[in-house]
Chain A
Amino acid sequence: MKHYSGKLIHLSIISCLILMLIPWHAWVKTIQPYWLALAIIYWSIEAPKQCGLFTAFFYSILLDVLYGSLFGKHGFSMVAMVFIISKIHKRLKMTSFWQLALMIGALLLNDALIRAVIDWLSSNNGFLNINFWQVLSSIFLWPWFKYFLDRMRQKY
């Protein structure tokens, strides 16, 4: 297994965290891709030893503090996602480009569902509200994201 520069991994994850914080108009916020999840998915497929459960947990707790959301909400869903990836990451590395995008779509949908259930349980809204737009935009962005990070990885 190849060892990647930890600097690149953490730098890319932190930049994704910053991307998530940029203040936008409400509707842009709704379709804003889940950058942090994209970065963590990428690195947990490519470098599972360096970006594992603890990394995912750490950064999503930071996101919870930055968003002021329920403490551990993003952490819970992200850790679950990385765990699933760690089970199948060899297969994920082998699959074709489009199949991978589909798989990641499923993972993100699962992640969004977990967060929606947590929201539903912790508030008294009465109905489940999944942000499908975020999932869609994340899937749409995934190929470009992967291409960009692949290039960065070759350079550094």
Chain B
Amino acid sequence: MWSPKNESSLTQNNVLRFLLLEVICIVLMVLDHSSRIAMPIRTAISTLTYPLTKIIELPQNAYEFLSSNASNRFQLLSENVSLKQKLSQAQIDLLQLEVISQQNKELRQLLNAKQQLPLKTTAAFLININTGDNDHHFIINQGFNQGVTIGQTVLDLNGVAGQVFSVNLETSHVILITNKNHAVPVEFLRTGIRTFLYGTGDLETLSLPEIPQSANVVTGDILITSGFGGVFPRGLKVASISRVIDSADRSYRKAEARPSADLNHLKQVLLVWSVKEQTLPVEQMDNKQKSGQDGQ
């Protein structure tokens, strides 16, 4: 039954299988760079993994159910009071904003630019978060079935948290802006200088290694998305400068920034749905103006 001949044919088969599977893996890795081909495969396979993610969610859901049932009346009342205070504060802010947005509208009309629509967002909840040294990403409970697409911007209430980089059937993976492999095109709110904001692998720090020496940068400067590259919509708050570093010979300047989003305590995030047709003309015009100013 177990003759040497059998064995040799088995091992030969094994070598073939091994080569076949490794080639498949390499092809998959190469294909993964184009989301158009890889995404349907991922989505199909994620139907198999869906029960597993549900099992992981189970204890979390049970805990939330229990804690919401167990929280007493006093807690709820005090929470209600603080929420009301926050709401009234927000309403006052909104009142001021309305005036500003009206002014903005008039200015845009003067400039003959199209109106920038307010962002359309939906809420999503975190299922799992991974903040290892190499890989900062989290998983949210919305996926292909909810119409999520790769590249969609994800916000926290305070600022940009990241972007969707892989979509499964009912979940999707979001890469954090602090991931080492992530960069956001940003501009300084105060001066309008454009640069890139890179992740460092640390949840509290982002780095800006490419600031022109002539640029006026001070601690506390706010960075917003510049809308370049077409991934992030323009004008979302990303981070604020925490440290400016000049090289010894003053030949270059770099800075560190702190993300505005509270990445340590993410629980609920907002998915941004693009309204590209309306915002594009505005962006194009802005770019032209800016490049004229910068003399590029």
Contact = CB atoms under 8 A, between A and B. Distances in A.
Nearest to B134: A129
A80 interface: yes
B53 A72 contact: no
A96 interface: no
A76 interface: yes
A21 B25 contact: no
B28 A72 contact: yes
- Determine chain A's interface SS by DSSP, over half rule: helix
Contacts of B173: 68
Contacts of B46: 65
B133 interface: yes
Contact of A66 (B21, B24, B52, B60): B52
A21 B29 contact: no
A71 B128 contact: no
Interface stretch (A54-62, A136-144, A145-153): A54-62
A26 interface: yes
Interface residues of B, number: 42
Interface residues of A, number: 39
A65 B42 contact: yes
Interface in B139-156: 139
B56 A22 contact: yes
Interface string B23-52: 011111101100000100110011011001
Contact of A72 (B26, B49, B134, B166): B26
Contacts of A101: none
Contacts of A154: none
- Determine chain B's interface SS by DSSP, over half rule: helix
A17 interface: yes
A86 B21 contact: no
B56 A53 contact: no
Given A68-B137, A72-B28, A18 B181 contact: no
A65 B22 CA distance: 17
Nearest to A75: B25
Nearest to B131: A26
Contact of B132 (A14, A26, A54, A66): A26
A21 B139 CA distance: 11
Contacts of A26: 130-133
Contacts of A62: 45, 48-49, 52
A22 to B, nearest CB: 7
A29 B129 CA distance: 10
A66 B29 contact: no
B53 A66 contact: yes
Contacts of B21: 53-54, 57, 75, 79
Nearest to B130: A29
Given A18-B55, A23-B128, A124-B181, A54 B32 contact: no
Contacts of B132: 26, 29-30
Contact of B22 (A23, A80, A86): A80
Interface of B: 11, 14, 17-18, 21-22, 24-29, 31-32, 38, 41-42, 45-46, 48-49, 52-53, 55-56, 60, 128-135, 137, 139, 165-166, 168, 173, 180-181
Q: Which 6 A-B pairs have the closest CB atoms?
A: A68-B173, A72-B28, A72-B25, A76-B25, A71-B32, A26-B131
20 contacts: A23-B56, A23-B130, A26-B131, A57-B21, A61-B28, A65-B49, A65-B168, A66-B53, A68-B166, A71-B28, A72-B25, A72-B27, A75-B24, A76-B26, A79-B18, A83-B14, A118-B29, A123-B181, A124-B181, A125-B181
Given A62-B48, A71-B29, 13 more contacts: A29-B130, A30-B133, A53-B14, A57-B25, A68-B139, A68-B166, A69-B135, A72-B28, A73-B29, A76-B29, A79-B21, A79-B22, A123-B181
